[in-house]
Amino acid sequence: MTDETKKKINAKYERELLHGERFWPDSLFKDAIVALGIFIFLVLLATFVGVHDSPKADPSDTSYVPRPEWYFLFLFKFLALYGQIPVFGKIEWVATVLIPGIAIGLLTLLPFIDKSPQRYYAKRAMPIAIMTIMVLGMVLLTMTADVPTVAADGSGLLGNLQTVAGLIVPSLAYIAFVGMAYTLKENAVRAIAWTTALAAALMIGFTAATLALYQPAAVAVIEIPTTLADQIVAGQDLYSVHCVECHGDDGKVEEITGVEGLEGKKISIISSKDVLYTVNDASMAEIIAYGRPDSGMNPFGKAYNPEGLTRSEIDYVVTFMRYTWDDRFEAPYIAPLYPPLAEGEVPSYSVHIEPIVKRYCISCHRPGKDNNNYLMTSYEELLTTGDNASHNLISNDPTSYLLQVIQQIPITDPASGEELIGVMPPNKALKPEIVEVFVRWVQAGMPK
């Protein structure tokens, strides 16, 4: 570069400086434009993409594991990794307060610490390097946030890889930076660049290894019923399991039958106007959550019954009751329990019997209920459990116990004449078309 061109450039630079861009209004105007763009983008995201549904918050649910929002996951992971360090890991405030405090403090003080007027990147190697490692660390920690630090089989490999990537390598890099700042003044740029590149490569490598090794357990996808119809169906399923036992599938039971300890107890018809018109949704949810312990209805809320229902589930049950029984509410279309049988069609377990059993029988015939030890939650159980398993379902035999009891014929012990099995369901006879499905199914040899 000749002196001539140097001068020219300098002169141009000076001119630029003179009528350079002003912070107010020029820079702020540009900022405002960008901010507006981001704002519009967020509005569009919220309108067209939205957030995925999750169950309603339930303060009484003690099984809930809280997790921070995604933008705090890196801190969350950092705490988890820090906790793995022997001895130091126990001093939590170092990781929860001290280190984030120092980081935020440094950011705040940065304009005072770094007063260099230089903008050329080679002259700013150290700040760029520090920031690179920090941002990379945050990104990688966020990416591994879902990976457990202690694997399910107890091996520490995953945890160790993460500790190296998220704690050890960055710490070593920072120690090296400090060392370089004091020792190599002139050649520092190269050394800093190499150190940064090496640390970044190691961090990325170890994180990639972690992610490659991690096999996430298949998580049960929780389907959140969003439409009214879905909520009614969800509520009906819950009602079928938890309430049919005492109140019957249609809520019309007036006198409990077939429930130990409550035999013959008179109860109100919960599908009647008397109940539905006087109890509003909130009180209905309360009754379900707290039960009527004095009268024999146990609480169903998770707070009182670990196997009970969550807040949202109770709401679905109430929705089901309203839209099915309350004539002031009009239910949306709900698919029938099972596809109607055509002339001569053979019913199968999965299409016909399973949904029927779920609706009318499961409440009393599931794990945790005695009832002659007859479980009806799967095909195998249906065929093989029960005190009278060998008689309950016999291929093409109309005297199968199950067929008789659902046709209102109790089974008596031929020897003693004592009643073995009462009619089923004890509280209310099945509709003839449902009995017909069972009969045809047994006739055809109980196909799966």
Instruction: Note the residues at the interface with ligand HEC (CB under 6 A).
Output: 239, 242-247, 258-259, 262, 265, 267-268, 270, 275, 279, 284, 287-288, 292, 295-297, 300, 317, 360-361, 363-365, 371-372, 374, 386-389, 392, 401-402, 405-406, 421-422, 424-427, 430
Q: Least CB distance from residue 392 to ligand HEC, whole Å?
A: 5
What number of other Cβ atoms are within 10 A of residue 386's Cβ? 22
Q: Least CB distance from residue 413 to ligand HEC, whole Å?
A: 11
CA proximity to 231, closest of 274, 278, 281: 281
Q: Name the residue with the smallest CB distance to ligand HEC.
A: 386
Return d(Cα 293, Cα 297) in angstroms, integer: 5
Q: Least CB distance from residue 227 to ligand HEC, whole Å?
A: 21
Q: Least CB distance from residue 315 to ligand HEC, whole Å?
A: 11
Residue with tokens 């660049």: 193
Residue among 137 and 251 whose Cβ is closer to ligand HEC: 251
Contacts for 153 with CB less than 8 Å, ≥ 6 apart: none
Residue among 19 and 266 whose Cβ is closer to ligand HEC: 266
Q: Least CB distance from residue 348 to ligand HEC, whole Å?
A: 17
Tokens of 191: 């050394």
Tokens of 414: 């031929």
Tokens of 448: 């799966």
Residue among 137 and 308 whose Cβ is closer to ligand HEC: 308
Residue among 390 and 396 whose Cβ is closer to ligand HEC: 390
Residue among 145 and 270 whose Cβ is closer to ligand HEC: 270
Three-point CA angle 422, 425, 426, nearest 5°: 50
Return d(Cα 61, Cα 237) in angstroms, integer: 21
Residue among 187 and 412 whose Cβ is closer to ligand HEC: 412
The values of phi and psi at residue 338, to 5°, are: -150, 155
Q: Least CB distance from residue 278 to ligand HEC, whole Å?
A: 7
Q: Least CB distance from residue 218 to ligand HEC, whole Å?
A: 30
CB 95 within 8 A of CB 102: no
The values of phi and psi at residue 136, to 5°, are: -60, -45
Tokens of 105: 């403090």
Residue among 88 and 277 whose Cβ is closer to ligand HEC: 277
